[in-house]
Amino acid sequence: MTLTASIERCRRDKEDWKYTDLEALLKTPRPRSVSFKSQQAGSDARLVFMNGVWQPKLSHFGSIPSCILMGDLESGYTLTLGEQTCLVAQPIELVFASDKNAPKEIALKFSISIGNNGRLTLLENYLASNVPTTVETDIALHPQSKFVHGKIVGGGVHLATHNIHALEGCYYSNFSLLRGGSPIRNELDVLLVGEGAQVALNGIMLLRNREHADTTTRITHQAPGCSSRQVFKTVLDDKSRGVFKGKISVVEGAQKSDGYQLSRALLLSDQAEMDAKPELEIFADDVKCSHGSSIGDLDDDAMFYLRSRGLNEKQARRLLIEGFVSEMLDEIRVEEWREIFRHEIEGWEK
């Protein structure tokens, strides 16, 4: 989906894009692109995309067969795994960067399919760029498969949609870090169509200046015995704006569904703004679903206590921010990822 198509979506469905007006936001200045240097091959597979084009010379697959990735920028990329349970031991990182030869915009399409009992651990890392990027990803999870999915967006214009189709007994976990944005919109649309399917969506948004980031989720329980969990936290400073729109739908007949959703935001400035809109839509009678949302500022008593222990205001504030988001890092099951996310968060706090 191109940037033009995204703007048309915004115009057609004004309610769904109520808090994120693309035409107005796209007039704001763009950040500079982050320079990219290829790293030496490590134990993880690392696939590099420059201006949306896969760069084999900058990539390495490790022990993973290169045939799992096919396609090109124009037709879209496909990543296909059969019953390859061994892949859970080797995460794959996709790195996206741009340079002076980048086009006016980059439109990426991905199709990911995991066969019965397959395992995939994948991290998408989008370096900050002044090139608007749109990403459309279709994910098919077959019975008893497992997909651990991470994502880091370093800023710039980033508009992404993820369509996840989950069959019986499969597990999908997504953890996103949106650091900055002008704007960022990250959509996750999950269909739990097989009995006993599970999904866990977690994320952090870190915003300052006039940055704008929007996380929109839709989870539909279409089969009995499925469970979903969503926890998102946002830290906002200056005149930034964050958006969380989350919807859990349980269709008729999807008994024993278990859905949980929570959004929490920490405002560091009186001029920052957070819009949260959690929703439940339930058409079955034997379910357990709940949602919650809270927005607040730094605790004055906690600040006073830390200052009384010898910390200056900057140190105390940083410690409270770390405490607010640190429990989210416990949801990251891949140890290497946990350190990457922690480093990104610490870099934002400086």
Cα(122)–Cα(174) distance, rounded to whole angstroms? 10
Cα(52)–Cα(110) distance, rounded to whole angstroms? 11
The residues near 230 (Cβ < 8 Å, ≥ 6 apart) are 200, 201, 202, 217, 219, 246, 248, 260, 261, 262
Q: Tell me what pLDDT residue 33 has.
A: 64
Phi-psi region of 312 (alpha: psi -120 to 50; beta: other; left: phi over 0): beta
Q: Tell me what pLDDT residue 204 has.
A: 95
Q: Tell me what pLDDT residue 220 has.
A: 98
Cα(213)–Cα(9) distance, rounded to whole angstroms? 17
Q: Tell me what pLDDT residue 95 has.
A: 95
Give the strand order in the sheet containing 287-297: 53-54, 45-50, 92-97, 119-126, 146-153, 171-179, 198-207, 227-236, 257-267, 287-297
Cα(232)–Cα(205) distance, rounded to whole angstroms? 8
Q: What is the pLDDT along the chain (350 residues), one digit of tens a residue?
A: 788 999 899 988 888 999 998 988 887 666 666 666 655 445 578 999 999 999 999 999 887 888 889 999 999 999 987 755 444 457 899 999 999 899 999 999 999 999 999 889 999 999 988 899 999 999 999 999 999 999 999 989 999 999 999 999 999 999 999 998 889 999 999 999 999 999 999 999 999 999 999 999 999 999 999 999 999 999 999 999 999 999 999 999 999 999 999 999 999 999 999 999 999 999 999 999 999 999 998 888 888 878 888 888 888 888 888 888 888 888 887 888 888 888 888 878 76
Q: The tokens of 44 are what?
A: 């993880």
- The separation between the first and the last C-alpha atoms of the chain, rounded to the nearest angstrom, is 35
Give pLDDT tens digits for 240-291: 999 999 999 999 999 999 999 999 999 999 999 999 999 999 999 999 999 9
Contact 156, 185 (CB under 8 A): no
Q: The tokens of 23 are what?
A: 């035409």
Q: What is the pTM for the complete model shown? A: 0.92
- SS3 state at 85: helix
Cα(219)–Cα(287) distance, rounded to whole angstroms? 15
Please count the other Cβ atoms lying within 10 Å of the Cβ belonging to residue 15: 6
Amino acid, res. 227:
S
Q: Tell me what pLDDT residue 298 has.
A: 83
Phi and psi at 151, nearest 5°, equal -155, 135
Amino acid, res. 146:
K
- SS3 state at 122: strand
Q: Tell me what pLDDT residue 334 has.
A: 84
Q: The tokens of 113 are what?
A: 């399919």
Cα(17)–Cα(1) distance, rounded to whole angstroms? 16
